[in-house]
Amino acid sequence: MLTLTELQSTASDVGGVYVTHDGPDRALAINGGLVDQSVGYSAHLWMFPSPQSASTATAPAAPQAPPEYSAAPQAPSEYSFAELGLMSGAADPMMAFPSGTVFTPYSVVRNISDQPATVTPSLWWMAGGAPKSAHLPAITLPPHRTVDLNAPAMLAAAGLKDFNGSVNLILDTKGQDGALALTGGSVDQKYTYVFEVIPHGIGASSSKSLCYWSTGNGDDTMVTLWNPADEEQQLVFTLFYSGGHYVLPIPLGPRETRTFNISEVLHSAIPDAEGNVVPAGIYEGSAEIAGSLGEHQQILVSMDGGVYNVRKAICGVTCISCNGVVGSSIEVVPIVIGAGASAQEIFYEQWNTGAEINNNSNSSWGTSSTSIATVNVGLVTGVSPGSFTVGAEDLYYEAAYIPSFCTPAPVCPINVRVGGSGGGSVTPTILLGGPNGTNITNNSSNPQNVVAGQQIILYGSYTLPSGASKPTQSWTIPGTSSSPATAISNFTWAADSSSGGPVPLSTTQLGQREITYYWTVPTAANTPNTVTFTLKYLDNQNNPQTATAQAFLTVAGVTSPLISTRPLGSIQITSGPAIEVGDPSTTPGVSFSKSAYTPLGYPGVFIWVQVITKSNVACVSSSGTKNVVETPGLDNLFPYSTAPGTNDSPLQPLPSVDTQVTWNFVAQMYLMWRPGIANDIYVPMGSMQWQFFADGVQNTTTQTWSVASDSTLSTNLFTPGSAYPTWASNLHNTLTPCP
């Protein structure tokens, strides 16, 4: 993790961070944030890919330097973005904020391209049940320039200086594709509450999904809808939860904004058109906004949502998914027909929501041999004896499925044309436990529960259609590429403890139909891990096809682990003579104890593991100085101890021929845990470094040893984390004596 303390001394209070690397394009996953611990303020620092190609990207010039273009200017693109529900003035009483909470909106734009860009802001708000607007002057952003749009000044220019309520900020942009990095939101005067808003592109789409909502443990979820169109739209907002759904009709007039909390819907107790009422005890789920004619109806609506908790002073942005086509197939009626006879086939589009849409009338049909059979809108007619294949292709572009738009992004794309053939398509599933395991596919509303350290076996189940060939598969497992990795193949150690450490998941394993792995850390609350299985194959027309399946798993684990130390011992001379750190019979050199909360139902087993990272001894005699440098490795055996607490009092013999012996020692004590179930592994809780410098000096006249005043013993703070101990040798309590 990199802390950018340099930002505190910059001449400007706005700017950008430009990150380059020498790896493949988009090889790094980068996250950032802003924090002021003194007042409890934090916010995301959104990262955007550079619109320049990796081969030509260069670090940006300083803002005051004249722009220099590294390539011929591209034709500018025009996009519109909506920042919905920016709060201004006194907080809405329905949100239960403390008295006196006052919000100020903010919006910041950075041009991350090497060409100028323009932003034209406008404000939309509701007054007296009707939409109102104000259009503001355009702003030109030179390359690599950041501008605070000064939302309070824009409100004042619109006559809303003392406005209490929420507004929508619409940004009409013109520039290179991907040129602008946008962020916005609202913050109260004490910086205690920060409501971030993701700017979403405005454009026609099919239905959209709100990936998560919560009303439990003080949470609530605020949803804002805005109709950018010039005509009324009949929309349907559907809540999905474990065991059911609830449909809320929402007619939205031209430019109208509708803001509501999910808790209001849950507590209304009004049956929907299907007679459904959200039962008591439902606190989380997902949601969807769609046209009244179904998920595939094209609509023009902007949506934003956020989960907030007034008591905890937290607010999280909620990801939005663009629903769309994920596959297609022809439902083949067995065709055994004579010349002139007919059979009707059906061309289906499969959507990520599970819907299947009959697309016969909007498709182009054909057969592999018109001399054997012809087809018209799926109706196959025999011509002469023989075998053939029937196929269909969409005539129009359809909505594409894009999961989890969690960062500012353009509109949901409508750019997919799908086709099918008589062989059908593949819908893979993910089975937990192997080929005969439990189907956990698309279980986002009821994630599978596992525990850190548990062996997880996943199997990608599928049946290829007739004539398909060359299947390949791959797994995407969260935590595989993190540093340190939190999804691993195993944790092993040699029988004699001479080596040990985590085993990473290999590319080969991730390309198998069945994969076995372990997660080493628990997931955050309400944020399950998403596993994706991807299948690629050639259909019976030798066309490449791709099908995917997802599963959601919540990982339980130990929380709030801590290593503490009791008062340290002293460095002393003991019989032998030897220099010893502490006294194991009274006050050891260092004593460790632990505290932690284990997950419900998994008391598990804790162990201690110590790795010596430095042990350098220097021996001084009349013939000179000789050094002994130990190879870093495991201290004795694995584990170091299984007791609730443990200690260490290292000892080094003092040869009579030496006049001085110094010992520089550093060790890392790890706390590990396993859940105590079949085939589980130990997972790390964190570690504590401790170190000492011992200096023994001999009085050659009296032949007695004493500890010099420069001797020190100390411990560092406990560092919780997922880093495993790793070693390639062990020391077996047999330190090499001085020569």
> Above 60 in pLDDT, residue 27?
yes
Q: Which two tokens stand for residue 431?
A: 């089975």
Contact present, 484 and 724 (Cβ < 8 Å) = yes
> Above 60 in pLDDT, residue 191?
no
Mean pLDDT of the 436-448 span: 92
Instruction: Return contacts of 91-95, CB within 8 angstroms, 24+ apart.
Output: 91/188, 92/165, 92/166, 94/261, 94/264, 95/220, 95/222, 95/261, 95/308, 95/310
SS3 per-residue string spanning 191-234: CCCEEEECCEECCCECCEEEEEEECCCCEEEEEEEECCCCCCEE
Task: Report the alpha-carbon distance of residue 518 to residue 502 in Å, rounded.
Answer: 10
State pLDDT tens for residues 329-369.
776 544 444 456 677 888 888 888 888 888 888 888 888 77
State pLDDT tens for residues 160-176.
999 999 999 999 999 98
Mean pLDDT of the 528-553 span: 87
Task: Report the alpha-carbon distance of residue 573 to residue 555 in Å, rounded.
Answer: 50
Q: What is the pLDDT of residue 557?
A: 96
Mean per-residue pLDDT over the chain, rounded:
86
Mean pLDDT of the 258-280 span: 93
Nearest residue to 110 (alpha-carbon basis) of 151, 53, 149: 149
Q: At 605, is the secondary structure helix, strand, or coil?
A: strand
- Please list, in sequence order, all residues whose beta carbon lies within 8 angstroms of the beta carbon of residue 139, skipping any fewer than 6 positions away: 109, 118, 119, 120, 121, 147, 149
Q: Which two tokens stand for residue 456?
A: 């997880």
Cis, bond preceding 577 (omega within 30 deg of 0): yes
145 or 397, greater pLDDT = 145
- Please list, in sequence order, all residues whose beta carbon lies within 8 angstroms of the beta carbon of residue 147, skipping any fewer than 6 positions away: 14, 108, 109, 110, 119, 139, 141
Task: Report the alpha-carbon distance of residue 119 to residue 670 in Å, rounded.
Answer: 53
SS3 per-residue string spanning 81-147: EEEEEEEEEECCHHHCCCCCCEEEEEEEEEECCCCCEEEEEEEEEEECCEEEEEECCCEEECCCCEE
470 or 110, greater pLDDT = 110
544 or 534, greater pLDDT = 534
137 beta partners: none
| CATH no. of 441-556 | 2.60.40
329 or 577, greater pLDDT = 577
Contact present, 170 and 202 (Cβ < 8 Å) = yes
pLDDT confidence of 736, banded at 50, 70, 90? low
User: Which range among 242-251, 418-427, 518-527, 552-561 shows the weakest confidence by mean pLDDT?
Assistant: 418-427
Task: Report the alpha-carbon distance of residue 358 to residue 351 in Å, rounded.
Answer: 12
> Above 70 in pLDDT, residue 143?
yes
pLDDT confidence of 486, banded at 50, 70, 90? very high
pLDDT confidence of 58, banded at 50, 70, 90? very low
State pLDDT tens for residues 672-708.
999 999 999 999 999 999 999 999 999 989 999 999 9
Q: Would you tell me which CATH number, out of the four given (2.60.40.10, 3.40.50.2300, 2.60.290.11, 2.30.110.10), belongs to the domain 5-51+75-201?
A: 2.60.290.11
In the chain, % of residues over pLDDT 90: 59
Q: At 555, is the secondary structure helix, strand, or coil?
A: strand
Mean pLDDT of the 466-481 span: 87
Q: What is the pLDDT of residue 54?
A: 35
732 or 121, greater pLDDT = 121
Q: What is the pLDDT of residue 59?
A: 39
Mean pLDDT of the 452-471 span: 85
Q: What is the pLDDT of residue 402?
A: 79
State pLDDT tens for residues 359-395.
888 888 888 778 878 888 888 887 765 556 788 887 7
Q: What is the pTM of this model?
A: 0.54
Q: What is the pLDDT of residue 707?
A: 96
> Above 80 in pLDDT, residue 29?
no
Task: Report the alpha-carbon distance of residue 104 to residue 58 in Å, rounded.
Answer: 36
Mean pLDDT of the 186-208 span: 85
Contact present, 198 and 127 (Cβ < 8 Å) = no
Task: Report the alpha-carbon distance of residue 286 to residue 278 in Å, rounded.
Answer: 13
Q: Would you tell me which CATH number, out of the four given (3.40.50.720, 1.20.140.10, 2.60.290.11, 3.30.1360.80), belongs to the domain 208-317?
A: 2.60.290.11
State pLDDT tens for residues 582-633.
999 999 999 999 999 999 999 999 999 999 999 999 999 989 999 999 899 9
